[in-house]
Structure 1
Amino acid sequence: MFYALEGKIVVKKNGFVVLNIAGIHFSITVSVLTYLGIELNQKIKLFVELVVSENGFRLYGFLSEEEKYLFNELRKISKIGTRTAISILSKFSPQELKYVIANKKTEQLLNVPGVGKKTASTIILEMSDKVLASDEKLIEVLDVLTNNLGFSKEQAFPILDKIYHQKPDLDMANLLKETLKNLKQ
């Protein structure tokens, strides 16, 4: 129904913001990381998801499409609702969460309230394909960095992922070159 809303932040309170769009005020639940990236009286575009439950309608807002995508993918996992999905995205940026999932760092997910061992394992199992399979170019460059050039996934993935999302139009060779340049710094 809604894809994104653009307006001015008029209220910032614990866990939500109020977005004024032409005199209509929308209450939008946000993750801690999104909350910290928003300033009062700032004109902003939030990617939103309308969630309908037995408690009513609620809007969830995100600074990036990627965070919104991860929120929706987390909600597809059994026993993960909106509250747990927001808690996970409050603890990890999209890049950090993808790194945790790609490297099967179950113990890091245990630091999120409401996530136990079984849920953490399920998150990693169900989302690992979605995280890395989102782009073949990313997978291939990561493979070259780890298997051919000897970098560990822990070293390479965060830098590669950041560059990939800053410059998505780079071809494979230039993505590899840019990542190598940043890895050697």
Structure 2
Amino acid sequence: MIAALTGRLTFKAPTHITLDVQGVGYEVFIPLSTFYSLPDLNDLASLKVHTHLRDDAIQLYGFLTQDEKDAFVLLTSVSGIGPKLALSVLSALSVPDLASAIQAGDVDKLATVPGIGKKSAGRIALELKEKVEQLGTPATAAADARWASPSRLEDDALSALVNLGYRPADVKETLKRVGQRTLSPPALTDLIREALKDLTRG
């Protein structure tokens, strides 16, 4: 099993990256919380990795912190929650917010994540309530990606959020609201983060 990877970052997107480790390119799926803190292309990146075995493939999931990886493993232990949904949860909620929602039994908060309905949210809250105490606080993610064109910025944010499962119409309206209260063009990661705050408030 691959538990960690350090290599040259040759490709990055909000949902996955490619790490070149001694000439071998590894595709690693990531949550937005990890995307926020990725270095520039061709710089070295280090991730905690969970190896997911399927009948037809071996998939790698990478995380900036051990807490994120632990939260991912806990989420995938819940009936009906696969790796894709677990990444969606970690993209929408920080580990502390996730832990707080589970401990409080806040099904409505959990159900704001795309793909997580009330039943799935209830299972997460019920099955993980006694387990989330083992999670600590993740490192604060730093945003560093900036775009020269506001239209390109919004297009990239729209694509990232739609890939997470949000409806295009909802995302466009949310990005419009965020833009109206922002004095200057934000970093892509800041724009996505602010939009997610609005979207997860339902």
Q: 1:70 — aligned with what?
A: 71
* 1:95-110 superposed matches below 5 A: 95-110=96-111
* 1:80-159 superposed matches below 5 A: 80-132=81-133, 134=134
For 1:23 and 1:83, the matched residues in 2 are separated by 28
For 1:36 and 1:27, the matched residues in 2 are separated by 18
Letter in 2 for 1:128: K
Deviation at 1:54, TM superposition (A): 3.0
Letter in 2 for 1:17: I
Q: 2:48 — aligned with what?
A: 47
SS in 2 for 1:54: coil
Q: Residues 14 and 31 of structure 2 are in contact (CA less than 8 Å); yes or no, is this contact kept in structure 1?
A: no
Q: Mark the CA change 1:94 to 1:42 in structure 2 (over 3 Å): closer, same or farther.
A: farther
Q: Residues 14 and 30 of structure 2 are in contact (CA less than 8 Å); yes or no, is this contact kept in structure 1?
A: no
For 2:56 and 2:91, the matched residues in 1 are separated by 22
Q: 1:171 — aligned with what?
A: none
For structure 1, which runs of at least 5 residues remain unmatched after alignment?
136-160, 167-185
Encode CA deviations 1:111-140: one digit per residue, 9 max, x unaligned.
1111111110110111111112x28xxxxx
For 1:28 and 1:124, the matched residues in 2 are separated by 28
Q: 1:139 — aligned with what?
A: none
Q: 1:22 — aligned with what?
A: 22
Letter in 2 for 1:57: I
For structure 2, which runs of at least 5 residues remain unmatched after alignment?
140-202
Q: TM-score, normalised by structure 1?
A: 0.69
Deviation at 1:57, TM superposition (A): 1.0
Q: TM-score, normalised by structure 2?
A: 0.64
SS in 1 for 2:8: strand
Q: 1:33 — aligned with what?
A: 33
Higher CA-based Rg = 1
Q: Residues 76 and 82 of structure 2 are in contact (CA less than 8 Å); yes or no, is this contact kept in structure 1?
A: yes
Q: Residues 16 and 30 of structure 2 are in contact (CA less than 8 Å); yes or no, is this contact kept in structure 1?
A: yes
SS in 1 for 2:131: helix
For 1:8 and 1:100, the matched residues in 2 are separated by 36
Encode CA deviations 1:139-182: one digit per residue, 9 max, x unaligned.
xxxxxxxxxxxxxxxxxxxxxx64xx78xxxxxxxxxxxxxxxx
For 2:26 and 2:75, the matched residues in 1 are separated by 24
For 1:26 and 1:37, the matched residues in 2 are separated by 18
SS in 2 for 1:33: helix
SS in 2 for 1:6: strand
Letter in 2 for 1:96: D
Deviation at 1:32, TM superposition (A): 1.3
Q: Which has the higher contact order (CA 8 A, sep 6+)?
A: 2
Percent of pairs identical after alignment? 32
Deviation at 1:14, TM superposition (A): 4.2
Runs of 4+ in 1 over 3 A off after TM superposition: none
